[in-house]
Amino acid sequence: MQERRFDFIVDSHCHLNYKGLVEEQGAVIDRARRAGVGCMLAINTKLSEYDDVRAIAENNSDVYATVGIHPHEAENEPDVAIEALLERASHSKTVGIGETGLDYYYDNAPRDMQKVNFRNHIAAARTSGLPVIVHTRDADDDCINMLQAEMAQGEFSGLIHCFTASQRLADACIEMGMSISISGIATFKSAKELQETVKTIPMDKLLVETDAPFLAPVPHRGKTCEPAFVMDTARFVADLKGVEFTDFTNITTSNFFNLFNKIDDSFKPVELA
């Protein structure tokens, strides 16, 4: 069978239910489609908001959802059982677990609670077969140690989203078979170290995202970020990697569907009038 070639790109991480996007959600999604974004992954960060995120996916054939509790929310939603994640993960348009992980920069939740939350999500990912989406900031050592310990108990797939961490974390995650997603931060003039790390990430492990409504890439700095802007990040990273843009689009989109493989092979982007 001939390998499918993709002529669109995916925003692998956006928050379509967040302030700044939700007010004109339909227009935001339409602008993304017209920019060449064929698929968007709407990320859940509070279990109490899962129904809102799922509804966006149900109402748009090119939007999928995840289920998860952000490390910032680990204290606010501390008693979520693995079964609660798995129940929601069974929905046909819920294709990933997270975002979850560790954030020691803000420490909005006690670190021990963040770790419990992270482990529960990994367990749900392992059981469901869906990839875990990892947020990590200023927590490289604990993130590596936890991922390695959990991987030793049973393999699971995963993605480090909005990667800004060390070369050491990138290398460790790639060695574990995980993928890495790059946001608009890579386009910032101050991101020289990150740009050097991006150059080392194998193309078959690379995805791109916006993390909208945050982190608008150059040339949109200062604006509310939206999924359409993933094209600017993709062009920048393609140049950084020395890859033709059409090849970059094809590879990263293929990587997305290989990782989030619950999405049916017959997926097609929305046809525009």
Cα–Cα distance between 59 and 67 in angstroms, integer?
A: 17
Residue 1 pLDDT class (50, 70, 90 cuts): very low
Q: Pairing between strand 37-42 and 94-103? A: unpaired
Mean pLDDT, rounded, for 18-46? 98
For residue 66, list its beta bridge partners.
Answer: 96
Cα–Cα distance between 33 and 62 in angstroms, integer?
A: 9
Cα separation values, 256 from 102, 163, 171, 253, Å: 23, 16, 20, 5
Question: Which H/E stretch holds residue 149?
Answer: helix 140-153
Residue 220 annotated as binding?
Answer: no
- Residue 43 belongs to a domain with what CATH number? 3.20.20.140
**Does residue 272 belong to any structural domain of this protein?**
no
**Does residue 91 belong to any structural domain of this protein?**
yes
Cα–Cα distance between 183 and 185 in angstroms, integer?
A: 5
CB 225 within 8 A of CB 188: no
**Does residue 4 belong to any structural domain of this protein?**
no
**Does residue 88 belong to any structural domain of this protein?**
yes
Mean pLDDT of the chain: 97
Residue 161 annotated as binding?
Answer: yes
Orientation of helix 167-175 relative to helix 192-200, angle to 10°:
20
**Does residue 255 belong to any structural domain of this protein?**
yes
Q: Which residues contact 261 (CB under 8 A, 6 or more apart)?
A: none
Task: Give 58-79 pLDDT, tens digit per residue.
Answer: 999 999 999 999 999 999 998 8
Cα–Cα distance between 175 and 129 in angstroms, integer?
A: 19
Task: Give 204-245 pLDDT, tens digit per residue.
Answer: 999 999 999 999 999 999 999 999 999 999 999 999 999 999
Residue 135 annotated as binding?
Answer: yes
Q: Pairing between strand 9-14 and 206-208? A: unpaired
Residue 13 annotated as binding?
Answer: yes
> In the chain, what are the helix, strand and coil shares in percent, each to the nearest 5?
45, 15, 40
Which pTM does this prediction carry?
A: 0.97
Alpha carbon 167 to chain centroid, angstroms: 19
With a pLDDT cut of 70, the percent of the chain lying above it is 99
**Does residue 2 belong to any structural domain of this protein?**
no
Task: Give 167-203 pLDDT, tens digit per residue.
Answer: 999 999 999 999 999 999 999 999 999 999 999 999 9
Cα–Cα distance between 125 and 119 in angstroms, integer?
A: 10
Count of structural domains, the chain: 1
Question: Which H/E stretch holds residue 84?
Answer: helix 82-89
**Does residue 230 belong to any structural domain of this protein?**
yes
Cα–Cα distance between 120 and 91 in angstroms, integer?
A: 19
- Supply the range of the domain harboring residue 182: 9-259
Nearest to 214 by CA among 238, 235, 185: 185
Mean pLDDT, rounded, for 99-124? 98
**Does residue 149 belong to any structural domain of this protein?**
yes
Backbone CA torsion sign across 212, 218, 221, 223:
negative
pLDDT exceeds 90 at position 165: yes
Cα–Cα distance between 106 and 221 in angstroms, integer?
A: 22
